[in-house]
Structure 1
Amino acid sequence: MSSPGDEQHASGPNQPRDVRAVGTAVDRLTVSWVWEQGTGLPVDRFEVELGPPRGAVEWQRDDVPGSARQYTAANLVPSTTYEVRVRSVRDVTGPDGSVTSYASPWTDPVTGQTLREGAGAGCPVWPVDMTCCKDWPTDPGQWTDRHRDAVERATEILRVLTGGKYGPCAVKVRPCSPDCPQQVPLGTPWWQWDTLSTGEATWITPVLEGGRWFNRMCGCTGPCGCGPMCRYTLPWESAGVCQVKIDGQVIPKDPANGWSENGTRVYLHRPDGGCFPDCNRLDLPDTEPGTWSITYWRGRPPTALGIAAVSKLACEIYRDDCGDSSCRTPKGVKLMSADGYTFESEPPKNLADRLSRYPADVQDFVALYNPSGLTQAPLVVSPDVEWPEFEPADPGTVCPPW
């Protein structure tokens, strides 16, 4: 434990920038940052400090390797806002073996909030701007469960109204390779085709190549194809890749010896030119050898209009729950009295009628980005393409903020 007033060293490495903190579980907060060496010293490690908001004296400090650009703090309190700051450190060993540390200044504190109990970590709430919502605290640390519940409900409504297109959710995809080049040699006895114990062959399998159907004896087991794949295109739109696993091991994000991403494409980089495994054993969990998976944010981050819409909707939900008489009168009302408490409205007949009862920003956002009222994003299916399996993201998976 240390105090925020620790000594700073002006001759240290460059200061990190673009620090962000986002709750990824009820007891976890993922911190990410950007660091460039420039003309400064190289970095050996980063120091990440977490502390309760509003000027607490004691902070929790952890060291992170200099190659890292994100860190997940665990064992935190659910539904709690923490302040976070980061600095870079260079450790220099002298002739006598003593170590002198040179540190950059701390970054300005940013805040992040762990999820509340029962909240879905796979689909985080959207950012909100509640400045114009009467009696809504500007400091998230002062929000009550009623405030957080209103934001979660508003987020879910807009995610559904846009057909799941907006509001990224963390999902794990188990891809299938497209081809089946490892064929059993001609003349092999039929009783040797199905050598599941050695993982060398399976029964005759239909394979599509260039739109033509071939019956092949594949050289890998499990209900999936096989073949080299060094680049994989993610289904649907991606707001960022969280994790790549091969043979049960997490592969680092490294363009020299790991993986990189460009939009919906994920590239594997190996010094020996190796690709993703030829076979992906979908009959086994991705913690086992012979498997690989990619966890990513599926969907688009909300636009500025989307943030305005979810903020207005959350405010309306909160006011309605609290019985605030200043709530906007919804459209569809055909009879209303002031002091007599008479209220009558027509039930919504369709999606357009239901939308008319939401704030104008909500109507504009949905009309612009889902004008046809689709319940899910369009999907093109081709017999030439093996469709991957989807699973929920594993609890505790580190995902960078989108």
Structure 2
Amino acid sequence: MPYIGIDGAWRNASVCGCRPSGCSCSELCEVKLEGPVHDVVEVNVDGQVLVPGVEYRVDAPGLLVRLGGECWPKCQELAEPEGSPGTFTVRYRWGLELDESAIAAVSELFCHLIKGCGGTGACGCNANRNITRLQRQGVEMEMPDPTLMYSEGLTGLPLVDLWLQTVNPDRLSRPSRVYSPDYVRPRKTTWP
């Protein structure tokens, strides 16, 4: 993005830092991290790794808060490698922590998906998922219509379906929300 610098010359702001480009820098004591923050792996300021709980914390919804009366650096040298003077980097894991039932459901789904992965390169169950009736060597099996299961948001895998029905019994496509202009959500520390 072109701009006119302090000296009146046209500059390209593709790599915006503080010293050479003259970008606007302002003090921030909180930084918004995208997505749900599972945990912070490392916060590095000017090559120094900060101590969690002492020098920073994470408040919901994903605010990285500096502690001890400090704020985050005013300037960022984006052209410099991580850990150099003038840099500020945050490495964190994105996502929500799973409970044991969710881990069991994901494990069952994973096992189901890798069945049949061999030299063919095609993964998933080898059986045709649209079968409703099977007869082989005198044994007859009748299965539910998979299109009805899928339309109800089910997979046909017992642990996965039980978990889905437990966490979303009304089969909502997204969480419900209530908005009020008078309500101020209290701050909640989520990590560490």
TM-score category, normalised to shorter length: 0.5 to 0.7
1:236-255 to structure 2, matched below 5 A, reads: 236-255=35-54
1:301–1:199 CA distance, 2 compared to 1 (3 A): closer
Equivalent residue number for residue 57 of structure 2? 260
| Partner of residue 33, structure 2 | 234
Q: Which one of 190, 211, 227 corresponds to residue 8 of structure 2?
A: 190
Using the alignment, how far apart are the partners of 1:240 and 1:350 within structure 2? 39
| Alignment check: 8 A CA contact 2:149 2:155 kept | no
Aligned length: 156
1:293 matched to which residue of 2?
89
Q: 1:317 to 1:190 in 2, by over 3 A?
A: closer
Cα 1:349–1:248, aligned 2, differ >3 Å: closer, same or farther? farther
Could you say which residue in structure 2 is the equivalent of 1:333? 131
RMSD: 4.6
In structure 2, C-alpha distance between the alignment counterparts of 1:201 and 1:254, rounded to whole Å: 34
Partner of 2:157: 359
- Please give the alpha-carbon distance, in whole angstroms, between the structure 2 residues aligned to 1:280 and 1:354: 50
List runs of 5+ in structure 2 lacking aligned partners: 118-126, 175-191
Q: How big is the shift at 1:234?
A: 1.8
* Aligned with 2:72 (options 271, 276, 279): 276
Spell out the pairing of 1:3-402 with structure 2 (5 A cutoff). 189-191=7-9, 199-200=18-19, 202=21, 219-220=22-23, 226-255=25-54, 258-263=55-60, 264-270=62-68, 273-313=69-109, 320=115, 332-339=130-137, 352=150, 356-366=154-164, 368=167, 371=171
Which has the larger strand fraction? 1
User: Deviation string for 1:97-141 (max 9, x for gaps)?
Assistant: xxxxxxxxxxxxxxxxxxxxxxxxxxxxxxxxxxxxxxxxxxxxx
Q: Which residue matches 1:72?
A: none
CA contact (8 A) 1:331 1:357 kept: no
Instruction: Measure the CA separation in 2 of the matches of 1:254 and 1:295.
Output: 16
Change (3 A) 1:232 1:334: same
- 1:243: how far off? 0.8
4+ residue segments displaced more than 6 Å: 340-343, 347-351
2-structure distance, mates of 1:191, 1:276: 31
1-structure distance, mates of 2:85, 2:66: 18
Report the equivalent of 2:188.
none
Q: Which has the higher contact order (CA 8 A, sep 6+)?
A: 2
Question: Per the alignment, in what secondary structure is the counterpart of residue 239 of structure 1?
Answer: strand
Provide the C-alpha distance between the structure 1 equivalents of 2:129 and 2:155, rounded to a whole number of angstroms.
5
- For the 8 Å contact 2:101–2:163, the answer to whether it is kept is yes
Measured after TM superposition, the shift of residue 321 of structure 1 is 5.3
CA distance in 1: counterparts of 2:148 and 2:78, whole angstroms = 41
Q: How many Å apart are 1:351 and its aligned residue?
A: 9.6
1:249 CA drift (Å): 2.9
Which consecutive unaligned segments of at least 5 residues does structure 1 have? 1-183, 203-218, 323-328, 375-401
| One-letter amino acid matched to 2:73 | P
Q: Are the aligned partners of 1:193 and 1:201 in contact in 2 as well (CA < 8 Å)?
A: no
Structure-2 change in CA distance of 1:341 and 1:278 (3 Å): farther
Q: CA deviation at 1:239?
A: 1.7
**Percent of matched pairs sharing the same residue:** 21
Distance 1:358 1:283 in 2: 51
How far the C-alpha of 1:309 sits from its partner, in A, is 1.4
**Which residue identity does 2:63 align to in structure 1?**
R
Tell me the TM-score normalized by structure 1. 0.30
Q: Tell me, in whole angstroms, the C-alpha distance in 2 between the residues paired with 1:356 and 1:240.
A: 31
Alignment match, 1:88: none
How far 1:229 sits from its partner (Å)? Answer: 1.0
State the Cα deviation string for residues 12-63 of structure 1 (Å, max 9, x = none).
xxxxxxxxxxxxxxxxxxxxxxxxxxxxxxxxxxxxxxxxxxxxxxxxxxxx
Contact persistence 1:313–1:358 (CA under 8 A)? no
Question: Amino acid of the residue matched to residue 57 of structure 2?
Answer: S
Superposition TM-score, scaled by structure 2 size: 0.56
Counterpart-to-counterpart distance in 1, 2:172 and 2:149: 10
Distance 1:341 1:317 in 2: 26
SS in 2 for 1:305: helix
Say which SS state the counterpart of residue 337 (structure 1) adopts.
strand
How much does 1:306 deviate?
1.0
